[in-house]
Amino acid sequence: MSVSHRSNPEANGLLRLYVAGDGPGARRALASRLRIVEELAGGIEIQVVDVVADPDEAERAGILATPTLSDESTIPPRRLIGDISNIAQVLDYFGYRKKDSGYDHS
């Protein structure tokens, strides 16, 4: 899972976070999103897609589960489903390098 699929790990990336409405699960995921963006200090952008508000987008992307964090720039796309609060794990899965490697999230 630690193999990077990103051609250039230093470049700014774009991820999508699919959530459903504003229930507790969605709120937790949105909070984690902010921490991830903070962690990479602007090196990453995470667009939020609310599948309830935009089901067509969910259909296009073939989203079944929420929350799903998705990198659609890679082939094939990579998806992390469920709990994205473990930021080190998230960054590792999507092949991002932390700006401050001394910070321990676990």
With beta carbons less than 8 A apart as the criterion, state whether 73 and 13 touch.
yes
- Which position among 2, 7, 56, 106 is part of the footprint of other proteins (CB under 8 A)? 56
Residue 89 interacts with other proteins (CB under 8 A): yes or no: yes
The amino acid occupying position 68 is T
- Applying CB under 8 A, the span of 6-14, 32-40, 86-94, 95-103 interacting with other proteins comes to 86-94
Write out the H or E segment, with its range, that includes residue 17: strand 13-19
According to the binding rule CB under 8 A, does residue 79 interact with other proteins? yes
Signed CA dihedral, 81, 58, 35, 78: sign only: positive
Residues in touch with other proteins (CB under 8 A): 1, 18, 20-21, 25, 51-52, 55-56, 58-59, 62-68, 76-84, 86, 89, 93
